Structure 1
Amino acid sequence: MLKKKEAHQEELEMVTLSSLVPLDHLLRKIDAVIDFSFIHDRVAHLYCADNGRPALDPVLLFKMLFVGYLFGIRSERQLMREIEVNVAYRWFLQLRLTDKVPDASTISQNRRRRFNDSDICQEIFDEIVEQGIRAGLVDGTVLYSDSTHLKANANKNRFDRQVVEKSRADYLAALDADIAQDQADHGKKPLREKARQSVAKETKISRTDPESGYMVRDGKPKGFFYLDHRTVDSAHALITDIHVTPGNVHDSMPYLSRLDRQRARFGFDVQAVGLDAGYFTAGIAKGLEDREIEGVIGYRRPQGEILNYSTTNRSGYREYKSSPRVCKTCPLRDACTQSRNHTKVVTRHVWQDSLEKITANRLSPWGKRIYERRKETVERSFADAKQLHGHRYARLRGLVKVREQCLLAATAQNMKKIALILTRKGAFCDMLLWIVSNWARKHGILPAFAE
């Protein structure tokens, strides 16, 4: 029988907020295993203790942001509208059904005035990683690193051309020392003392977001981007490090310093790392060797032949040159070299042996297993970030604000993964307890335990 639905929107009902949230909701799982109380202590020094208007609870403030990142809500204004009508969000934030939701400007003003010069987002990220370590979900034995691009909030057609200094690698001091040693080993005079000059090049600078970088990479879109350099632990793919640079910074530039930060901050005993071909440089290979860490890195095959040693240049390359007397009469000279002095020059880095060790690792059975895990760890982490957590675009402008976005998004991903893993383990333990209890009751064994 067809009946018309009666309207009940104005009726009063006696309900609790908790009863309206499904027991298996993601926010319930996060609330059960993640401790947010540390946020108070970390931000206390940023608030006035004895005067001024009562401040919004900082735990509530950051939990609101986490809701936005967990569920891919890109706009903070839209986030506030969603919190107003979503009972699960209100339950997680400990807001009553009738409580007023803070205005979006509260977040922006706290970001601009209170947290602008602080490192609170990094501290929150680190604390969640430590909670994962204490739960046994992170061991730091094998780490995977890569980068992904976020489109800057800038028009790629509005730019000025400027000459700027290129980023410097973080291993140049060690390279200078080894160049001097290599010169001495070959009986050569040391190179004349000269401070390294930063390499300058003309590049495009965005008029809208000058701190972004114009990215030009094979197979990637061209335009103004930021790079999220991310490291993931092999055990459960929890993110252990986030570092943001303009889009025109090479992946290898900040890698070693970020690796050192994780070892110092979390006490990781890193045994091996898995990286893609963008990290296959002599500096990375030597840095890993010095740290007694095995590297498994993708490879792009070079070409060339090795000739007689001539010298070691300031860039760290040994130069091997042919004899001009031999080359001058060689019938294949034109196909080999076009130099005016009839000399073929081939270079080999002073750290080439370290590169060759990396290549051997990649071809070994254990190296193949480690490299195969890249797509299940760091690449999967980026895919989830882009698909589920709004990580394709930079929400705000400026390196500091994009760094905040990347740190909070990674923190949200870690909280989600920790909650899902631990609640799954808890459900397994409950099921095992139920099976044992039923078996004991059935056989009349351990009646007290069965009860």
Structure 2
Amino acid sequence: MMGDRRVDQAALFYEFSLERHVPADHLLRSIDRFVDLDGVRAHLRPYYSSTGRPSIDPELLIRMLLVGYCFGIRSERRLCEEVHLNLAYRWFCRLGLDGDVPDHSTFSKNRHGRFRDSDLLRLLFETVVRRCIEEGLVGGAGFAVDASLIKADANRQSGTDGANGLDPEVSSRAVDEYLAVLDDAAFGAATPVTPKYLAPADPASRWTGANGGMAFYAYSTNYLIDLDNAVIVDVEASTAIRQAEVTAAKTMIVRAQECFDLHPERLAADTAYGSAEMLAWLVDEQAIEPHIPVFDKSARTDGTFSRDDFTYDPEQDLYVCPAGKHLRKYRRAFAVPRTGVLKDKTVRYRASKRDCGPCPMKSRCCPNAPARKVPRSVHEAARDKARAIAKTEAYVTSRRQRKKVEMLFAHLKRILKLDRLRLRGPCGARDEFLLAATAQNLRKLAKLVPTPSPIMAT
């Protein structure tokens, strides 16, 4: 029998529980256990006036931003619409059924003002990391570091010649931020090379073709993760070049020790972090084992002997060539001792012409020079330690575990939809990277920490 037609009739009273309508296995229920915003209001109090109209609750704005980054809602206009309609979002934001959703412009006003001035998003990220540590998700023995390119909000076809600089009449918030970071080691001071192109809309972004396809303007998001459960211990924004990414890695390692008292025993990374200076910093200054391939271009392709064919004798401080002859820094004593260190932080070891001239191996060693020279970095001891570690089983394990950071970048771009920035300037990049890393750690907590079972009444 066909049922009666349902007619919408307005009732005088409704009994509705928002708590009951949010499923028990909803992601926001799991995340809500780990969102601690008790200190937000006290942290922001100095940045609010004591007079005037009451402001939008900053806790509400933070909860809405977490919803947006956890579910890949990139537009703040759309985020306001979704929170208005979605019951689970309303429950998480503590809005109830009749709470008003703030206008999207409120986010911009607070972001460019109070949130950045107080570094609130950094505080939020560190609060979540501390919760991960308390829950036992961070071992602290092994870390991995890597960077990934994120496209900037700049049209690749509207750039100007970097050698000519920006138009003096161009003025915007992104330009002001670009001028402010010209001396920053992670941005303008990362390299003396003049950028090929500058984007007037976001000049701090870097023109790069590192992905192998068409070049574009980009920033780098740098992750330092713990290898046990791939928890993001720190995140840093930088310009999209290798030198800046190495600098960001050092900053994150030092900051993790200062903020969380985390000092890893080993660090896994790719060859971009295998320069002599970086390896020496890890080994000599930080006492961290570098599970990193050595960045080495000493191998020759013309069939002649490479530096690896020469044996270094640390006791006598000399190299021994394949013919058994000695290569030394100097062949006479000086009244004032000399280090022999050149501007490129290398030392040249030279063979004698009397040894190389009649040598039968000269055609395979130095066919176009009277004697052979072998350069040695002042940080070669750290490089040798990295080469020795690369022959161990622990290194093989670290190389396999290092893929966890690549998976986080894939999750960032494919699930959280952060393959292109929405905000401009270095500050905008920092804001987006901090919020995305916070969302990833919250999702990690929700996945790995089980929900406590309710206690049944007896």
Query: What is the TM-score of this pair, normalised by structure 1?
Result: 0.80
Amino acid at match of 2:406: E
State which drifts further: 139-148 or 345-354: 345-354
The amino acid across from 2:292 in the alignment is I
What amino acid does structure 1 have at the position aligned with 2:405? V
Q: 2:259 aligned to 247, 262, 265, which one? A: 265
**Are the structure 2 counterparts of residues 285 and 416 from structure 1 closer, same or farther at C-alpha, using a change threshold of 3 Å?**
same
Pair 1:36 & 2:37 matched:
yes
Equivalent residue letter for 1:20: H
Q: CA deviation at 1:351?
A: 0.8
Deviation at 1:404, TM superposition (A): 0.4
Q: TM-score, normalised by structure 2?
A: 0.79
Per the alignment, residue 184 of structure 1 pairs with none
Letter in 2 for 1:399: P
* Residues in 2 aligned to 1:116 and 1:301: alpha-carbon distance in whole angstroms: 41
Q: Distance in 1 between matches of 2:138 and 2:153?
A: 34
State the aligned residue count: 403
Q: For the residues of structure 2 that align with 1:168 and 1:116, how far apart are their CA atoms?
A: 18
Checking the alignment, whether the CA contact within 8 Å between 1:252 and 1:279 is kept in structure 2 is yes
- What CA deviation, in whole Å up to 9, does each residue of 1:254-297 have, x standing for no partner? 32232111111110131111111111111121111122111101
Match of 1:387 in 2: 414
Stretch moving more, 60-69 or 321-330:
321-330
The structure where helix makes up a greater share of residues is 1
Q: What amino acid sits opposite 2:269 in the alignment? A: L
For the residue of structure 1 that corresponds to 2:376, the secondary structure is: strand
Matched, 1:158 2:158: yes
In the alignment, structure 1 segments of 5+ residues that lack a partner are 171-195, 435-449
The percentage of counterpart residues that share the same residue type is 31
Letter in 1 for 2:437: A
Structure 1 residue corresponding to 2:438, chosen from 402, 411, 414: 411
**Contact 1:277–1:297, Cα closer than 8 Å, also in 2:** yes
Q: Does 1:292 align with 2:280?
A: no
For residue 240 of structure 1, report the CA deviation from its aligned partner.
0.7
Q: Please tell me whether residue 206 in structure 1 is matched to residue 199 in structure 2.
A: yes
Residues 34 and 128 in structure 2, CA contact (< 8 A), matched pair in contact too: no
**2:328 & 2:225 partners in 1: Cα distance?**
41
Match of 2:81 in 1: 81
Pair 1:122–1:169, CA change in 2 (3 A): closer
Contact 1:166/1:198 (8 A) holds in 2? no
Q: 2:322 matched to which residue of 1?
A: none
Change (3 A) 1:346 1:411: same
Give the corresponding residue for 1:321: 350
In the alignment, is the contact (CA less than 8 A) between 1:166 and 1:199 conserved in 2? no
Tell me which residue corresponds to 1:177.
none
Q: Which residue of 2 aligns with 1:45?
A: 46
Q: 1:97–1:372: structure 2 CA closer, same or farther, 3 Å change rule?
A: same
Tell me how far apart the structure 2 counterparts of residues 220 and 41 of structure 1 sit (CA, whole Å).
Answer: 48
Q: Deviations over 1:313-358 (max 9, x none)?
A: 122112233445666788987886686x645443221111211211
In structure 1, C-alpha distance between the alignment counterparts of 2:266 and 2:431, rounded to whole Å: 29
| 303-312 or 318-327: bigger deviation | 318-327
Distance 2:232 2:422 in 1: 21
Whether contact under 8 Å (1:148, 1:227) holds in the other structure is: yes
CA distance in 2, matches of 1:387, 1:9: 44
Structure 2 unaligned blocks of 5 or more: 166-180, 300-305, 311-318, 320-326, 330-339
Segment of structure 1 superposing worse, 87-96 or 354-363: 354-363
Q: Equivalences for 1:243-254 in 2 at 5 Å? A: 243-250=236-243, 251-254=245-248
Task: Report which stretch shifted further, 145-154 or 378-387.
Answer: 378-387
Instruction: Determine if contact 2:205/2:240 at 8 Å carries over to the other structure.
Output: yes
| Paired residues of 1:152 and 1:397 also in contact (CA < 8 A) | yes
Match of 1:396 in 2: 423
Taking the TM superposition and a 5 Å limit, the aligned residue runs for 1:174-189 are none
RMSD: 3.1
Q: What is the rounded CA distance, in whole Å, between the counterparts of 1:46 and 1:169 in structure 2?
A: 29
Pairing of 1:305-344 with structure 2 (within 5 A): 305=307, 306=310, 308-310=327-329, 311-323=340-352, 342=370, 344=372
* Equivalent residue, structure 1, for 2:115: 115
Q: 335, 349, 352: which one pairs with 2:377? A: 349
